[in-house]
Structure 1
């Protein structure tokens, strides 16, 4: 078969979320699966030989993780096209949806996340594949039927689980109505009770297994199925005794009459809970891998490898299954491993350096031995080998990088007649930081607006209307997708807070209601941490993801968020909060609190007060130049206040065009104070995501820092270094570095804005 099997997405019509993802989509996965994307043509199984890693795609909300799985599903199991249907044994599971559907808890003794996942995998991977046949899972199905069949009298939840899983495992189509129940499928196999009494529930698992074994076409299948369970139990016992596999010899054959009760034993062990249940889950996963390894579909390795896509694998259900899978793969000997290709997605934290861990605080790393590679490395060299015997060593972690500015330029060039600010692509990239969903939505809004307007300026990006949204703001639509609309006003208000204590002050004043049953600030913090928008209780700012924070802050500034709270009032309350904290502290802690106090005063538009304070600190005889630069850098990242004239006014002050006006308003202002005023406004302008800091402005920053270095009593060298490095960082869009003596300060200037 060499004909096309449905066209795969090309670079021209590809959705933006999968830009720059081609090393995975068009190189790694096809070579793992062994089937070309564009043609029904087998490829040699080259990647990773027999030891396959779980490929884990990590990224924030909206970085295109699910879009990549959509692309792979369209390539290997298209729903439409010339030949719709799976081209390889294929399964896709959204672990978040499965977790909600599973209703796992102590009240349900015949279900678990592992059982729910395995039932879904067996159902999807068993679909016939054109030209190759189908996979069959006799060992897994028998074990799952035993586990789900037992139920306590009067427990409707367990009855629903048994009905749902039994029909699925026996291959009943999902749309068949009426849906067969457990009773209609297996009750005939129950022994008839005397005197017409109700059947003994203890016999349910055996009846289900007996019915399944009796339905096998070949007697050999049932014999091998039971023999596998006996062998697995024997090897597990050997491990516990410290013996090598097979040390106790071949297990005795199980007589035909005892086969169903033998497999049904799994049910009793599963229902005992805790370690017993986990042992059964391990056995079921081992049976699943065994079925996929040696089924008739796999004979002579003639067919492509099965492909399993797991979305939202960071959930409890996803991590539970991956833990079992990785543990079983680590135990398997060389040459006996499975051939299932698993591509999973996991939600990671924000884009700042402190947030690159799997957990919000970076401490709970679920796969400590995982190999971490970049997409570029995978595109040029996909060689991977297991580095240790630890289960997590079977994970290949591929963090999804942000889009480059060139990707955004390409999105904007879809209409040659559109007219917009040539800086707008850079502004979009600075604002979104390459966030794929944000870039796509904003680029669509820019192009749509440019078709009807003569010019689209970069400063208008956050005020654009969503195309086809009946006047709805594009920012509102983005926030609704990323965090939902339920707590929109509260999140907008909390985006101004530096930490949880500051958020609590805002909540005490303006948010009396509770979120998720907790006080508003605690409920919002818990939700943000769970969705990886912040890094836990010590998170500073309160919302650490800079793109999300920029969207929320703009909603607050424009009056579309924080209903009933004005911009100046919120910043005034927070400024007073940090002033009180500063007065009760000393040293660097006091310095940081005064920096946040000034940050809020500048955001409220009180520039003269901020300049006076910075100038006074500069003139202190015992002042530290490095502390002063730290404060200046923090304060300059304050969000701009409401008003359309800020961009023009700030530039005029930064370029010295308003020095005379400052001198008239403050006759005592000397050259140092004027330089501080210009420098603050230049950095404030450069820190804004939508402002273009051109070369003359960057050069002016260097000139003012050089002038101030000559005036400082003790910090000439420190300020001179800043005069060299800060203009360069402003031009390149990087962070403004401080002296190497305080490496921990390098990221603290990323305030909420």
Structure 2
């Protein structure tokens, strides 16, 4: 390959969202593509040979998936710089935008998600590459023209599809105005009608294919093109008969006069729908991969390899294309040498002790090889483990950022002054969410740079830099979930499940969302965007970072217009109290815990302490159930007001024991310990509060004291006295295990 020398264009500044992503961007992808990012020289293919995996980057909203594709596009197909334009055959498709634009449906029979994706890939990969040439797609283009050219009279949607795809496939630039229609491109190839009237629509596919094959540059390839389709059909028949490829001999050559009708047969099969349509889509995908590998100019199709970036591949359009690609690579052993980097939106599958959320989402690629980002820096170790199509996927979950990454973001201004705990608070709040971390760090540095001290407790009230007084939380929520249903989502963030959200909607949200009752519409949207885990999701919004942002908007009065904090929690507490009365066993225990959760969030700490104390004294009480309730209740959000931080710490440290004893002279040592313990855990569970060493030690002391007072749960409480302080100190979930009841020191998996 020849071309200008010198470094390739790179971004001026490191994109914060791609911190910790360099093993993919600077190691794996250059090895796959065979071209260095920073210099116009080839890179030896250290792995994968001709069998390439689909690299699937999986992560939540805002984890930098699109930013990684931006980085790769800037490296391999920059718009500006000393050498603008693609450095390799390049395509990038946002599957979500394409799916919305396509409007595929039963009323448009000459289009599908697979057709839309293939047309877009052909158009983008056909662009010339300096020093390389261009890829050509004669097989794919002929088949696609046959499929899209058929249309029913009077169907404007099908006419628009034919016009749009025909112009694209014939190489008309997207900015050409006026854009030629199907008639302008192919009308001349239609046979004259015997009666002089309008031509029969059944002739359209053959006319389009004939005009394409009759082009001066494509005449020599027409014979090979139709021969490939005939060979494909013959091998498909052999597979159905259980015969090996080629068992029925070489297919007969297709005469020149029959080549256009032969390819146009695809149209009739496509329009029969269901399995026939899927069969045509498989054939078109096979033709596409064959064109990638064996174009008319073989030298042009050598290394470096073509690069395809698919954003939002979890959508129907994205999964449709990946299914076809993976099927071809597995069933036919296609060695197309095309590098595919796709992103998939995935929810937060971390365990949540405050809910009973089901396991993670169903994996669409069960045989995929799973690797961590650091592991693939030197070599992925990927080989195809089975013949299953999903074995052709290399899955790379995008990990959250570490606290050190946030510290680096905050060190951009050496003169800034802020709370030394603020990096840890940011990490606890965002859980390493790259977009959230970046936006909040920018707000901290901006305010600190003006000479103002920034405390950790103020993080969620900071103003977005350059946002004309707009809060950083509002800007984040607008990016993550939009502003259309802001008030409703803030209100529903207080709900434990859909039934609780329905109670809130009955009282305060009469309007519908997405054509459904408010709670159902919000649940459908949250599930679609992976913010919750389905109909049985608990809490209603399972993503902790999003829930923390929405809850704060509700608490500060900037969300849930017309609903006050205390009123919402009072309604939900009554809802769970009634549900507890109608249930027994563990279900009743959970409902009582949720009732107390809402009472504590409303600021009724004394009522919660009284109920926890009464449960503790029950002769038949189960210590593990009591700890489960305590853990649930302590994760309640703090009530409005800034005084909570100081007051909660004072109670946790015992500074208010005397005042409480005066208010409640009958309170014994056990009740005082429960009061201190509840407030210490409540403080430790808050994302913006720092549980210092004395507070952590006090948690262990109070649990140890209570273990000596419980009639039957000494071993359980003693285990918690050891493990909970350690978990609080390390920022981990507080464990529970039934085996603690045996008094054994080796606890297993948390419950």
TM-score of the aligned structures, taking structure 2 as reference length: 0.96
Equivalents in 2 of 1:425, 1:689: separation in Å? 12
Please tell me whether the aligned partners of residues 205 and 264 of structure 2 are also in contact (alpha carbons under 8 angstroms): yes
3-state DSSP of counterpart to 2:38: coil
The alpha carbon displacement at 1:218 in A equals 5.3
Sort the Cα spacing of 1:616 and 1:409 in 2 relative to 1 into closer, same or farther, 3 A. Answer: same
Please tell me whether the aligned partners of residues 737 and 750 of structure 2 are also in contact (alpha carbons under 8 angstroms): no
2:608 to 607, 610, 623: 610
The yes-or-no answer on 1:181 pairing with 2:181 is yes
Equivalents in 1 of 2:183, 2:21: separation in Å? 49
1:6 to 5, 8, 15: 8
Structure 2's unaligned 5+ residue stretches are 742-746
Deviations 1:185-212 (A, max 9, x none): 1101111223431111111111111111
Please tell me whether the aligned partners of residues 150 and 204 of structure 2 are also in contact (alpha carbons under 8 angstroms): yes
Query: Once structures 1 and 2 are overlaid, which stretch shifts more, 123-132 or 365-374?
Result: 365-374
Please tell me whether the aligned partners of residues 4 and 40 of structure 1 are also in contact (alpha carbons under 8 angstroms): yes
The alpha carbon displacement at 1:38 in A equals 0.4
3-state DSSP of counterpart to 1:314: coil
Sort the Cα spacing of 1:687 and 1:353 in 2 relative to 1 into closer, same or farther, 3 A. Answer: closer
Please tell me whether the aligned partners of residues 19 and 405 of structure 2 are also in contact (alpha carbons under 8 angstroms): yes
3-state DSSP of counterpart to 1:24: helix
Please tell me whether the aligned partners of residues 9 and 82 of structure 2 are also in contact (alpha carbons under 8 angstroms): no
Correspondence for 1:29: 29
Please tell me whether the aligned partners of residues 2 and 41 of structure 1 are also in contact (alpha carbons under 8 angstroms): no
Correspondence for 1:260: 260
The alpha carbon displacement at 1:42 in A equals 0.7
Sort the Cα spacing of 1:741 and 1:588 in 2 relative to 1 into closer, same or farther, 3 A. Answer: farther
Correspondence for 2:729: 731
Q: How many residues align?
A: 741
Equivalents in 1 of 2:491, 2:280: separation in Å? 49
Sort the Cα spacing of 1:553 and 1:155 in 2 relative to 1 into closer, same or farther, 3 A. Answer: same
Correspondence for 1:681: 679
1:235-314 correspondence runs (5 A): 235-296=235-296, 298-299=298-299, 302-314=302-314
The alpha carbon displacement at 1:217 in A equals 1.8
Correspondence for 1:515: 513
Correspondence for 1:459: 457
Correspondence for 2:150: 150
Sort the Cα spacing of 1:745 and 1:45 in 2 relative to 1 into closer, same or farther, 3 A. Answer: closer
Equivalents in 2 of 1:360, 1:50: separation in Å? 40
The alpha carbon displacement at 1:369 in A equals 1.0
Equivalents in 2 of 1:360, 1:233: separation in Å? 45
Please tell me whether the aligned partners of residues 239 and 245 of structure 1 are also in contact (alpha carbons under 8 angstroms): yes
Correspondence for 1:422: 420
The alpha carbon displacement at 1:294 in A equals 0.9
The yes-or-no answer on 1:89 pairing with 2:94 is no
The alpha carbon displacement at 1:47 in A equals 2.2
Correspondence for 2:102: 102
The alpha carbon displacement at 1:385 in A equals 0.7
Equivalents in 1 of 2:545, 2:27: separation in Å? 31
The alpha carbon displacement at 1:365 in A equals 2.3
Correspondence for 1:46: 46
Equivalents in 2 of 1:363, 1:475: separation in Å? 28
Equivalents in 1 of 2:740, 2:178: separation in Å? 70
Correspondence for 1:441: 439
Equivalents in 1 of 2:475, 2:283: separation in Å? 46
The alpha carbon displacement at 1:352 in A equals 1.7
Sort the Cα spacing of 1:727 and 1:521 in 2 relative to 1 into closer, same or farther, 3 A. Answer: same
The alpha carbon displacement at 1:409 in A equals 0.4
The alpha carbon displacement at 1:429 in A equals 0.2
The alpha carbon displacement at 1:105 in A equals 1.1
Structure 1's unaligned 5+ residue stretches are 749-753
Sort the Cα spacing of 1:264 and 1:302 in 2 relative to 1 into closer, same or farther, 3 A. Answer: closer
Query: Once structures 1 and 2 are overlaid, which stretch shifts more, 78-87 or 376-385?
Result: 376-385
Correspondence for 2:537: 539
Please tell me whether the aligned partners of residues 443 and 463 of structure 2 are also in contact (alpha carbons under 8 angstroms): yes
Correspondence for 2:198: 198
Sort the Cα spacing of 1:709 and 1:369 in 2 relative to 1 into closer, same or farther, 3 A. Answer: same
1:538-577 correspondence runs (5 A): 538-577=536-575
Correspondence for 1:703: 701
Instruction: Provide the aligned C-alpha RMSD in A.
Output: 1.8
Equivalents in 2 of 1:304, 1:524: separation in Å? 46
Deviations 1:9-63 (A, max 9, x none): 48xx211111100111001010000000001101122221111111111011111
Deviations 1:273-299 (A, max 9, x none): 111111110000000000001114543
Equivalents in 2 of 1:304, 1:740: separation in Å? 57
The yes-or-no answer on 1:712 pairing with 2:714 is no
Equivalents in 1 of 2:295, 2:403: separation in Å? 48
3-state DSSP of counterpart to 1:231: helix
The alpha carbon displacement at 1:746 in A equals 7.7
Correspondence for 1:344: 342
The yes-or-no answer on 1:666 pairing with 2:668 is no
Equivalents in 1 of 2:259, 2:271: separation in Å? 20
The alpha carbon displacement at 1:742 in A equals 9.1
Correspondence for 1:123: 123
